[in-house]
Amino acid sequence: MPNVLKCGIAVALLAAGCAVLKPRPETAAWPLPDPGQAPFEDRLLQDVELARGATGGHFLAVLERSASGVTLAALDPTGRRLALVRWTAGGLDTVVAPEARPYFDADAALRELAFALWPSPSLEEAWRGGPYRLENVGDRRRVFRSGRLLWSARSFRESGARVIALEGPDGVRIRVRDLPSEEEAR
């Protein structure tokens, strides 16, 4: 799967309409890969949509890579910060807006992010010896635990932008579309 840009999958639960969403389902606790192996440079901007049943939400995700790790910021449509997660080799540092706390699991967000973005060898190294298995076939990527499918992702291009569509437990569907960087927008 190409290095599709998909940020903060579970962060979608923080979207402006998150109050209508049910608390997020449990996500399998697969190990996180090394944040230093992030498959992108500098900053990524994404438009993230989440649906679970008939409810959904929408937000802007900003992902930045630095020498120390990865930072993820989730913003509502008015630009208000809903969450900030710093991910380094030493662990996670998370700040979540009070109204988003019932819906946001930083560990799950980063596991889903890593599943969609990180190179296969990074995931396979982190998962070595455990019950998780990665499968890449064409434009699809899937993660299994002890033979049971947990998450699937499909990448494609739409109107010139990279898009990734994920399907997870309890009917969670996430769609992430790359937005142009400030330089590309000029």
- What is the C-alpha separation between 74 and 20, in angstroms, rounded? 18
Does residue 2 form part of some domain? no
- What is the C-alpha separation between 161 and 175, in angstroms, rounded? 12
Does residue 156 form part of some domain? yes
Parent domain of 179: 9-185
Which residue is it, tokens 């988003």?
A: 100
Does residue 21 form part of some domain? yes
Domain count, the chain: 1
pLDDT in tens, 123-173: 999 999 999 999 999 999 999 999 999 999 999 999 999 999 999 988 888
Does residue 33 form part of some domain? yes
pLDDT of residue 95: 92
Does residue 3 form part of some domain? no
Does residue 4 form part of some domain? no
Does residue 47 form part of some domain? yes
Does residue 1 form part of some domain? no
- What is the C-alpha separation between 33 and 111, in angstroms, rounded? 9
| pTM attached to this predicted model | 0.76
